[in-house]
Amino acid sequence: MRFEVTILGSNSATPLYGRNQTAQVLNCNDVLSLIDCGEGTQLQLQRFSFKANRIKYIFISHLHGDHYLGLVGLISSMHLNGRKEDLYVFGPAGLKEIIDLQLRYSETSLRYKLIFYPTNPTLSEQILEDNNLEVISFPLSHRIPCTGFLFKERQRLPRINKDVVEPLAIPNAYYSLLKKGIDYIDATGKVYKADQLTIPADAPRSYAFCSDTICTDSYWQYIADVDMLYHEATFLQDMVLRATETFHTTALQAAQTALNVGAKKLIIGHFSARYKDLLPMLQESKSVFDNTELAIEGKTFEIQ
């Protein structure tokens, strides 16, 4: 099953050096989710060949403009482009008022249903569960209420081991029961254990999105052992005082977080406009956590 994330925007407050503001597309079994929606996200979707109307879920971490100011434009374009399917938006409670106000003053009545779910920035909770994906929000420590998101694949059923099953002439209609762990009994009464006739499914993969936050261990419990961690890394460590003042994280601190939570891979982003060259960010992070990559726009990372 496809489980991958594509970077649309990797800068912080100001778009510069060809880098846009925060936005990502998560593809889980060909169901698309948009994570944050900075200015210019529509253009980035087009640039990297994503059809906006294929997006089913949108997750907004907080109400600083570089994380959501592209949203109303995207919602409006979906309307103009004839969207009919429901759109699910998860974000701070105040975001609903912002969307409604914009639509009211533009006298726009959407052709599709927008279903809004407010997130709670004070606790962790499951906010979505469908056939492919489970999403859990968790509190971060930023200057305004902010949440991170943990995306987890749903556990798949085992696969039929055809090399074993087919010689036994087990009816195809029984395969679904074997996958559910129900043993097969043949005409002579012989029992064939389901776990001997199936191949265990792969372990579910996970992806954590840690938006703007000061360096703290308060959210580590929610992202323990994650397969891939995206973490903001706005500054280099020599700017740690500035990071603390603005409730942000350095590249070194992001790497320490990845190491402490047992992440398998780290992606760093949300770069300050003071950095044209991002190599020092990567080098600083890799000095603590070697399996680090930069959130380069247009790059797709398979979650393994």
Model confidence band, residue 303 (pLDDT cutoffs 50, 70, 90): very high
Amino acid at 98: I
Residue closest to 256 by CA, chosen among 279, 240, 242: 240
Q: Does domain 3-156+204-302 have CATH number 3.60.15.10?
A: yes
Q: Which H helix or E strand runs over 169?
A: none
Query: Does 231 score more than 90 pLDDT?
Result: yes
Query: Does 168 score more than 90 pLDDT?
Result: no
Distance (Å, whole) CA 9 – CA 229: 16
Segments making up each domain of the chain, as ranges: 3-156+204-302, 159-199
270 contacts 236 by C-beta, under 8 angstroms:
no
Backbone angles phi, psi at 153, to 5 degrees: -65, 145
Q: How many CA atoms lie within 13 A of 15 on its CB side?
A: 20
Model confidence band, residue 23 (pLDDT cutoffs 50, 70, 90): very high
The position carrying tokens 């927008």 is: 114
- The residue-averaged pLDDT of 238-247 equals 97
6 contacts 299 by C-beta, under 8 angstroms:
yes
Among 30, 36, 66, 290, which one carries the catalytic annotation? 66
> Whole-prediction pTM value?
0.91
| DSSP conformational letter for 204 | P
220 to 122, 208, 232, 239: CA distances (angstroms) = 15, 11, 14, 23
Residues 48-75: pLDDT tens digits?
999 999 999 999 999 999 999 999 999 9
Query: Does 92 score more than 90 pLDDT?
Result: yes
Residues 191-210: pLDDT tens digits?
988 888 888 888 899 999 99
Q: How many CA atoms lie within 13 A of 95 on its CB side?
A: 32
As a whole number, the mean pLDDT across the chain is: 95
Query: Does 94 score more than 90 pLDDT?
Result: yes
Q: Is 212 a catalytic residue?
A: no
The pair of structure tokens assigned to 184 is: 């097969």
